[in-house]
Structure 1
Amino acid sequence: MSGRPSTGEAVGLLESELRAARETRADLGAEDVWRAFLRFGRVRFDTPDTPDVDGLLFQYGTHAFDAPATFTLDFTRQFDVIDSDGEHDHYVQVHCELRYGLAPALQDLGSFNSWFFHDVEDDLDHWAQALRNQPVWTAISALKPAETRVYQEPV
């Protein structure tokens, strides 16, 4: 036993970090959510000792997956699920999505994504700091998300 939480506890731990950031989720801005996600990102889970098994994804863009088109800023943690033979079976992703309206300034950003993998990349703080240069932060600085969703899905 590693003493680390299981990946099945990931959504609950992310929710706890979000609650610690503000009184209610409606009070959370992108900065609050990002800081909570990074705290969550520092928690190491009980995962196999293989490369690319525990990754963080920062992504944004305009999408219409399950509703009318919105600009979405999505912080995702992805775990590789290994089968009994030690081979890749599927991934589980824990998302924290911030959805905004379709302001032209947001649509003009296009889309972007960047990955970080524990035990492969150099430093989580370095990755996070590099993302602070993304134009999305300026574009959303005065905006509150219309919706913040936390969910888990197999992919």
Structure 2
Amino acid sequence: MDEAVGLLEGELEVGRRVSADLGTEDVWLAFLRFGRRLFDVSDAPEADGLLFQYGIYSFDGPPAFMLDLTRQFEVVDSAGDHDHYVQVHCELRYELPPALQGLGSFDSWFFHDAGEDLGEWAEGLSERAVWKTIRTLKPAQIRVYQEHV
């Protein structure tokens, strides 16, 4: 888990010289490659999950459309009880043209231990109307970071 941010950043750089060249679909495919990597996590249910979420937010500036691709790991204490989560985010920010203003917000989780197929989850997301709107856009900003929650 300690190397997760570096691994995601490495996936984003595969075949690219400059991250500014990355489009939404490039980032999504890199995130899915990262999502297929297995990590040493606890045996707790939902200890390793992927989150796809979007919406219009103004956390630290003017409103922007944000797509947040997150991997969440549960960290347990020495007794095996929940201690906290580590989240590795790949946050894409876009300008706010009319096409993005009407998309609302949405989130969807995938957990490796839930018996679902990652490819099917990803395919279902790529069939959503939002994907048809943003897949060819270049984000104004891509930010990769890790936080404890």
Q: What is the match of residue 43 of structure 1?
A: 37
1:18 is displaced (CA, Å) by: 0.3
Displaced runs of 4 or more, over 6 A: none
1:95 is paired with a residue of what secondary structure?
strand
- Return 140-149 or 79-88, whichever deviates more: 140-149
Contact 2:75 2:82 in 1 (8 A): yes
Which residue does 1:136 correspond to in 2?
Answer: 130
Q: 1:4 corresponds to which residue?
A: none
- Paired with 1:142 and 1:117, the residues of 2 have a C-alpha distance of 27
1:121 and 1:63, CA in 2 relative to 1: closer, same or farther beyond 3 A? farther
Instruction: Provide the rounded CA distance (Å) in 2 between the counterparts of 1:8 and 1:69.
Output: 32
**Tell me, which stretches of 5 or more residues in structure 2 are unaligned?**
none
Give the counterpart of 1:30 among 21, 24, 29.
Answer: 24
- AA matched with 2:118: L
Would you say the 8 A contact 1:21–1:28 is kept in 2? no
Q: Does 1:62 align with 2:56?
A: yes
SS of 2:114's equivalent in the other structure is: coil
Change (3 A) 1:141 1:35: closer
Matching of residue 108 in structure 1 with residue 102 in structure 2: yes
Q: Aligned in 2, Cα 1:121/1:107: closer, same or farther, shift over 3 Å?
A: farther
Identity of aligned residues (%): 65
Is the Cα–Cα contact under 8 Å of residues 21 and 32 in structure 1 kept in the other structure? Answer: no
Matched position secondary structure for 1:84: coil
Q: Are the structure 2 counterparts of residues 48 and 142 from structure 1 closer, same or farther at C-alpha, using a change threshold of 3 Å?
A: closer
Contact 2:92 2:143 (8 Å CA) reproduced: yes
* SS at 1:119 equivalent: helix
TM-score, scaled relative to structure 1:
0.92
Find the aligned partners of 1:77 and 1:142 in 2 and give their Cα distance.
23
Shift of 1:143: 2.3
User: Normalization by structure 2: what TM-score?
Assistant: 0.96
Unmatched segments (≥5 aa) in structure 1: 1-6
2:126–2:132 Cα contact (<8 Å) kept: no
| RMSD, aligned CA | 1.1
Q: Which amino acid aligns with 1:129?
A: E
CA distance in 2 between partners of 1:19 and 1:34 (Å)? 13
